[in-house]
Amino acid sequence: MSRRKLITARNSRELAEALRISSSDRVALEVQVELAERIALEVRTMGITHANLAQLASTSRPRVTAILNGNLEGVSTDLLLRILAALGVRVQLRFRRAA
């Protein structure tokens, strides 16, 4: 039986290093997680059903449910933005130099 090593990460950078994820993929994942968290907040605030949101965003209910459960595998940033737009949320981007 193989033994697994427990990994403790205090932030996304440490987690990305432990999982050997590139810094650009880490940043893309952070953006997607932030968008998904905002979607979940809006859904809770509005009390909209997963089925209604799926219809508004022209996607499937299982896809919406997966996103709301934090499963972003295979989910595009474009879809997350489309869902936010369907919820009436306007996304604004800000840019700054990395530290």
What percentage of the chain reaches a pLDDT higher than 70? 97
The secondary structure of the chain, three-state, reads: CCCCCCCCCCCHHHHHHHCCCCHHHHHHHHHHHHHHHHHHHHHHHHCCCHHHHHHHHCCCHHHHHHHHCCCCCCCCHHHHHHHHHHCCCCCCCCCCCCC
91 versus 18: the higher-pLDDT residue is 91
The length of the chain is 99
Contact 50, 4 (CB under 8 A): no
8 versus 52: the higher-pLDDT residue is 52
Output the CATH code of domain 12-86: 1.10.260.40
The yes-or-no verdict on residue 56 having pLDDT over 70 is yes
The domain segmentation of the chain, as residue ranges, is 12-86
Tell me the average pLDDT across 81-85. 97
pTM, two decimals, is 0.81
